[in-house]
Structure 1
């Protein structure tokens, strides 16, 4: 897993660079060129996440148990994991939280009818579609949770037995559950982005990356602190 650990570190470094680009991009865009720049940035970030889950899926095929253990993450990050990563429905909490914060901080502008096209300007149609997607994602999360629970019940006490006749079959089932979880994570982010305007998508991706960095930094600080 040393190869994936190194990939994970370099991937995070690249995400930080992309976060800086997203944060410094002009919002709202004032020209077609600036709008296209935002579109390109969203595409770059989504490609970056796609690459992460592609490489992680390959790592799971080689060593699924190590991917579940996630030694490259901090203890805090692992404590928040849902099947080796963040819970897909977290994306909706980010949307609602950011929309609420922006609404409250600009309520005077909103009462004057001003619109800037950011997350506080989510339309009723967008809220409806996001809510429908959230419900669908919850159902898929629950189904995958049942899959991993069934796997744990069936594999309990057998993975340590080198002579277990169906160990490969059990590991194969674990890989399948991991692939479902990773696919749902990536698909949820992509579908949320598709429901947003370009500017809203940029703000959503900024909030998501900042949450990742914040939790990671907090976890690293805890591990560095003297006992």
Structure 2
């Protein structure tokens, strides 16, 4: 199976999972509801893990394909950081969703009622999110520096033998894998520090952002092709 075919199947399955997350009772009011939501969150995270495992294997054979990313739209590629979404985007999403939900429930929250959603993050959760953001920014910078070093040596490719070029590509594949590991670690750590309800809301918001950008990108590509 080509990676593009895998990606299309994976993307369709993500839509199904997000639909299930969206339909799950929130806030969960029974033990069954809590268990259902927890299982759906775990299933979604396993789905992301499968994506990055498959991508790492495929990149060993053709790492350059993951920088050109033919299965993505031009808009998606314009937003990519080392073959995928920038990890710190997750924090902007958390803060945005938290702010929107807080404003919509501010009267209830000020009265002491807890909504349990992303607008009701505790001080401890906010502190941990902030600490994780700092760690992730540092991780991004380190990987960006490594890619910069790889690019600085690009002139060395001229006149190199097949084995030397292969080693150069293997190093690029390792850089891509580091970036993907940071992407996955960021999601996993955020989900761990959130409650199941908050994690479900975060995963739905992240996927809807993904769906929206991809949908708009497809429309822009069609217009460009027909112009």
- In the superposition, the TM-score normalised over structure 2's length comes to 0.96
Q: Is the counterpart of residue 33 in structure 1 residue 29 in structure 2?
A: no
Q: Deviations over 1:52-73 (max 9, x none)?
A: 0000001110100111111110
Matched with 1:189 is: 187
Matched with 1:135 is: 134
Deviation, 1:108, is 1.9
Matched with 1:119 is: 118
Matched with 1:106 is: 105
Contact map agreement 1:76 1:219 (CA 8 A) in 2 = yes
Deviation, 1:164, is 5.9
Matched with 1:59 is: 58
Looking at structure 1, the residues matched to 143 and 47 of structure 2 have their Cα atoms a distance apart, in angstroms, of 25
- Partner of 1:166, secondary structure, is helix
- Partner of 1:209, secondary structure, is helix
Matched with 2:88 is: 89
Looking at structure 1, the residues matched to 105 and 13 of structure 2 have their Cα atoms a distance apart, in angstroms, of 32
Deviation, 1:156, is 3.8
Contact map agreement 1:59 1:67 (CA 8 A) in 2 = no
Counterparts of 1:69-84 in structure 2, within 5 Å, are: 69-84=68-83
- In the superposition, the TM-score normalised over structure 1's length comes to 0.96
Is there any run of 5+ residues in structure 2 with no aligned partner, and where? none
Looking at structure 1, the residues matched to 25 and 173 of structure 2 have their Cα atoms a distance apart, in angstroms, of 42
- Partner of 2:71, secondary structure, is coil
Contact map agreement 2:117 2:197 (CA 8 A) in 1 = yes
Aligned residue pairs total 225
Q: Deviations over 1:37-58 (max 9, x none)?
A: 0000000000000000000001
Q: Show structure 1 runs of 4+ deviating over 3 A.
A: 161-165
Deviation, 1:105, is 1.5
Q: 1:103 to 1:157 in 2, by over 3 A?
A: same
Is there any run of 5+ residues in structure 1 with no aligned partner, and where? none
Deviation, 1:162, is 6.9
Contact map agreement 1:86 1:185 (CA 8 A) in 2 = yes
